[in-house]
Amino acid sequence: MSRDLSASVQSAIEATQVQPFLLFEGLFSSGYVRVWSGYGDLSWNGQIWTGVGSLGGVSAVQETAEVQANGISITLTGIPSEFISLALQESEQGKSGKIYLGFFDENGIIADPYLVFQGKLDIPAIQEDGETSILTITYESRLIDLQHPRETRLTNEEQQREYVGDLGCEFVPAMKEITLNWGRS
């Protein structure tokens, strides 16, 4: 499958020494959370990304030739148990999340990390052992919306809800009673 990778990302992938990293950006109730797979703070795209090192993980991003919604899981381990309720309060279903794949070279970050996945928050799961916890947040692909039925109808009432004052559907109810003759009589 072809990608729209920039020349700098392509050369980083083809280099003899590859230094990849992941960036995660998720929208939660109180705002964005931005973390990366290294240690310390990282500045990219005008934002500060907090390093989670070996405490964070991302499941494999799956792609298929078929049109289907594949999700991913973001995992954060070693969370003190007192912060679990905060994590659950902050998680709001349907909020956006993104995963970027970036590369370092000898000068720092290559300017354009590649967007690997974008989706919507589904559900958080928690595993506790008494002192620390493992938080796993699942994100679904935007294709998941194709599985939800649309509850709209071609009626004047629906048209007025969407476009107040539009008379395009004003005569739709009368159409079921009308007889139309096509062609010459």
Instruction: Report pLDDT digits (tens) over 125-176.
Output: 888 877 778 888 888 886 656 666 677 788 888 888 889 999 888 888 888 8
Which tokens hold the place of 135? 């938080």
Question: What confidence category does residue 1 fall into, taking pLDDT thresholds of 50, 70 and 90?
Answer: very low
Longest Cα separation, the chain: 85
Question: What's the pLDDT at 104?
Answer: 86
DSSP result, 114-131: EEEEEEEEEEEEEEE-SS
Q: List, in order, residues 6 or more apart from 96 with CB less than 8 Å away.
A: 26, 27, 118, 119, 120, 121
Domain limits, the chain: 7-147, 149-185
Q: List, in order, residues 6 or more apart from 131 with CB less than 8 Å away.
A: 80, 81
Residue 146 DSSP class: G
Per DSSP bridges, beta strands 108-109 and 114-128 are unpaired
Query: Domain 7-147 belongs to what topology?
Result: Phage tail proteins - horseshoe like beta roll fold (2.30.300)
Question: What's the pLDDT at 47?
Answer: 93
